[in-house]
Structure 1
C-alpha cells in the first residue's frame, strides 16, 4: 500500500454535488438510498448548530450499530464534530434513531475495510483511490489502508 496524496474535502461545485443526498433526505426521499447510506445529524463542535451529512455504511455490527468512515480523513468536519459531541441522530432509509458515536481501534477499522472490499470490490478500489491510497487489491493492502482511515461506530441509544 502506498499513500499517494490525501485529498482535501471538496469545495465549490464539488461540495454541492457531495451534499446532494442530504437534500433527498430533506425532501423525504431518503428511502431511495436504501440501507447503503445514512443521514447523520450531528452538532457543530464550535458553532453548536445542527449539521447533516450523508455517509456510506461500511458495515453493520451484531448489536445493530452502523459503521461509517471519513473518506477525507480525520480533518473532515463531521468526523471532528462527532468526536466532540458523540450524541447523534441517524436516519437509514425511513428509520430514525438516536445513537452514540465511537471511534473503533485501528485494527478493528482494518477489518471493517477488508469486509467492505469483499462485499464491494470495485467500489472499494475506487474509494481507496479517491482517498489517496494506491492499492494492489490484496486483502493485506485493504487492511493496511483500513488502519489509516478514521472509522466511527454509531451505537443505537435506548
Structure 2
C-alpha cells in the first residue's frame, strides 16, 4: 500500500454533487440509500451552527445499534473535527433519527474495519481507496494498512431524548 496523494475536499460542482444526498434526506427520502449511507448532524466547532453531511456506513452493529464511519478525507475533514469537539449528536438512517455519541477508534480497529469492508464491497472498496489517494494490490493486508491511515468513528446510540446538533429538525 502506498499513498499517492490525499484528495482535497470537493469544491464547486463536485461539492454540489457530494451534498445532493443531504437534500434527499431533508425530503424524507433517506430510505433510498438503505443502510449504506447516513446523515450525520454535527455542530460547527467554531461557528456553533448546525451542520450536516452524508457519509457511508462502514459497518452497522445490530446488537448495540452502533454505526462505524470513516473520514475518507482524513483527520482534517470538518465533520470529523466537529465530532471530536462535540461528540453528542444525531444521525438519520433511512427515516429514523437517532441520538448518538461519537467515539474515535484506534488505528488497529480502523484497519480491522477496512479489512472487513473490502470483501463485502469489493468494487466500492477499490474505488474508495483510489479516490482517497491510496494504491493497493487488493489484499486484505493492503486494505488493513489503508484503514490504519484513516480516522474511524463509532456512533453509539444514546437513550436520552435530546437529539443533539438539531437532529430532530
Distance in 1 of aligned mates of 2:57 and 2:111: 15
- Bigger shift: 58-67 or 106-115? 58-67
- Residues 68-97 of structure 1 show CA distances to partners (whole Å, capped at 9, x for unaligned) of 111111111101100110011111001111
- Bigger shift: 118-127 or 61-70? 61-70
- Residues 30-70 of structure 1 show CA distances to partners (whole Å, capped at 9, x for unaligned) of 11111111000110000000001000000023321100111
Q: CA RMSD in A?
A: 0.7
Distance in 1 of aligned mates of 2:89 and 2:81: 13
Aligned to 1:146: 147
Distance in 1 of aligned mates of 2:86 and 2:128: 27
Distance in 1 of aligned mates of 2:89 and 2:70: 15
Any gaps of 5 or more consecutive residues in structure 1?
A: none
How do 1:9-158 and structure 2 match up within 5 A?
9-61=9-61, 62-158=63-159
Secondary structure (helix, strand or coil) at the match of 2:114 reads helix
TM-score by length of 1: 0.98
- Residues 122-145 of structure 1 show CA distances to partners (whole Å, capped at 9, x for unaligned) of 110100000000000000100000
Distance in 2 of aligned mates of 1:82 and 1:15: 21
Higher helix share: 1
Distance in 1 of aligned mates of 2:101 and 2:125: 26
Distance in 2 of aligned mates of 1:119 and 1:33: 17
Distance in 1 of aligned mates of 2:7 and 2:130: 10
Any gaps of 5 or more consecutive residues in structure 2?
A: 160-169
Stretches of 4+ aligned residues off by more than 6 angstroms: none
